[in-house]
Structure 1
Amino acid sequence: MTIKMRTFGLTWTDPDGIPRAAAVTYDKASGEERKADLEAADCTDVEVKSGRPPLPKAH
């Protein structure tokens, strides 16, 4: 049986207003944990997206 690994990337805006993107990919559970960590650190616009790490939004 083949198991297909789905990967997720993260984007967010840090507390200084700078758009960021993760340089690594996560599995779904790890991505959601990282999202919670970022939100606890006052980051905004935190998104977990399926696929490769996205580029950060231009500011």
Structure 2
Amino acid sequence: MTSAGVSAGIDMALHLVDRFEGTELARTVAQVLDYPWHSPGSAPDDDKALREALLAAHR
């Protein structure tokens, strides 16, 4: 798998995290990176849901 450009590389990395480790971890990584990412086929989450997922992942 290859990508070109910084954003494409981040998208690819998040896709791989999503695929092999799960969407929740990919969303957490995206939040830590402050990068707006949504798993393929999903609607963007509102900020509250994303914050809750991030907090739950750090417990």
Q: TM-score, normalised by structure 1?
A: 0.34
Return the index of the structure with the highest Cα Rg: 1
Larger relative contact order (CA 8 Å, sep ≥ 6): 1
Instruction: Considering fraction of residues, name the structure with more strand.
Output: 1
